[in-house]
Amino acid sequence: MPNPDTYGIYLHIPYCRSKCRYCDFYSAPGTRGVPDEYVTALLRELSKSSRRPDTLYFGGGTPALLRPDQVHRLIKAAAPLPGAEITLEANPDVVTPENLAGFAAAGVTRISFGVQSADDAQLRRLGRTHTAAAAAQAFAWAREAGFREICGDIMLALPYYSIAEFDKTLALLQAGGCTHISAYLLKIEPGTAFGRTPPPGLPDADAAAEFYLYAVQRLAQEGYRQYEISNFACPGHEGRHNLLYWNCKDYWGIGPAAHSCLGSVRRFWPNDTAAFIAGTVQEQYEGPCNAEDYLIMQLRLCSGLNLTEYAARYGVRFDAGQMAFLRHCAASGYAVLDGDTLRLTPSGMIVQNAILEELI
């Protein structure tokens, strides 16, 4: 069972100045920042547990719309353990030297910028409100504020995408001092602006796969080791909070649309900011964290699935037909069977869903 001593808290900050065209995350208008009433609601929920987290993650939305004093109050209430990883997501155009210094003084140890592309025309197409120059400036301010853990996001296979656009974006993140990079394929989600009106110029599935494999190769060449399907880090700079998710450890999510898994039980908050502030909604039961969840999460990791541990945790063993399928995957370059550990290669991660269909 998950180690009860390893624990993270996720605080969802749903407010955004505008909605990106690809985004299907729950969000609310936030042109005036994050209301104090919302912070009070988070503090109300935090007061219900005295368990101290190893990691604290401000996700969104746009958490950098919080004021540093609000961040300070929330960190103090969460009472993270000494040496905890405390991450705050930020858009490059909402940070200043003053608020970055304030976030660092409040206790944030890790800042994560949603850069996505270094091409200004692409950023406008996506509905992003920053420019490449603004991203470079945000990185410089973060370094000046004392941040040593700086993260950046790259979106792959965007409209009219090219290898040159990836290289330009990687160079921007490297120059910015990124110790961690998330690189992931654009997915057109129903209900988004792109879902309603798909943009022209999207690469097909084969081209998207080639962009992903190129990104894996280039990031490795530049010292960013892949440790999860979409995550790459300089050695020792892996994201501890998200590893809790992928290793099915305990985490508590607070805020509308936030999810939790505590004691192998999954819960979620309804998508209703007003009701959350008013305290008229509670976490809802979602279901148990079971063998299927564990399999899906472990195969996202480059460390892979330990078959012996899988059997010990859940009493599940692959049958002869499934093992034959896995040996075929290994022979085809999609997986590695190393003793009792199953790992997907980058090529296998592209077709992960198809592999999982055979195993579940």
Q: How far apart are CA 236 and CA 51, in angstroms?
A: 26
User: CA-CA distances (angstroms) from residue 141 to 99, 134, 146, 239?
Assistant: 10, 10, 9, 22
Nearest partner of 136 among 86, 178, 87, judged by Cα: 178
Contacts (Cβ under 8 Å, ≥6 apart) of 284: 267, 268, 269, 270
Q: What's residue 279's pLDDT? A: 97
Q: What's residue 304's pLDDT? A: 97
What DSSP character marks residue 247?
T
The answer to whether 317 and 331 are in contact (CB under 8 A) is no
* SS3 sequence of 329-342: HHHCCCEEEECCEE
Domains and their CATH numbers in the chain: 7-244 (3.20.20.70), 304-360 (no CATH)
Nearest partner of 132 among 183, 93, 74, judged by Cα: 93
Q: What's residue 28's pLDDT? A: 83
The answer to whether 245 and 301 are in contact (CB under 8 A) is no
Q: What's residue 91's pLDDT? A: 96
Helix (H) or strand (E) holding 1: none
Q: How far apart are CA 132 and CA 92, in angstroms?
A: 9
Q: What's residue 30's pLDDT? A: 78
What is the residue-level pLDDT of the chain in tens, covering all 360 positions?
334 478 999 999 999 988 899 998 888 887 789 999 999 999 999 999 999 999 999 999 999 999 999 999 999 999 999 999 999 999 999 999 999 999 999 999 999 999 999 999 999 999 999 999 999 999 999 999 999 999 999 999 999 999 999 999 999 999 999 999 999 999 999 999 999 999 999 999 999 999 999 999 999 999 999 999 999 999 999 999 999 999 999 999 999 999 999 999 999 999 999 999 999 999 999 999 999 999 999 999 999 999 999 999 999 999 999 999 999 999 999 999 998 999 999 999 999 999 999 998
Nearest partner of 191 among 112, 285, 281, 271, judged by Cα: 271
Show the beta-strand stretches assigned E in 98-161: 110-116, 149-156
Q: What's residue 24's pLDDT? A: 85
C-alpha dihedral sign at 139, 142, 148, 151: negative
Q: How far apart are CA 254 and CA 102, in angstroms?
A: 23
Locus of tokens 């547990």? 49
Q: What's residue 1's pLDDT? A: 36
Q: What's residue 319's pLDDT? A: 94
Q: How far apart are CA 154 and CA 165, in angstroms?
A: 10
CA angle 213, 175, 97 (to 5 degrees): 125
User: CA-CA distances (angstroms) from residue 93 to 103, 137, 149, 173, 358?
Assistant: 16, 9, 19, 16, 44
> What is the model's pTM?
0.95
Show the beta-strand stretches assigned E in 137-279: 149-156, 180-185, 225-228, 231-233, 250-254, 259-262, 265-268
Looking at residue 287, its amino acid is G
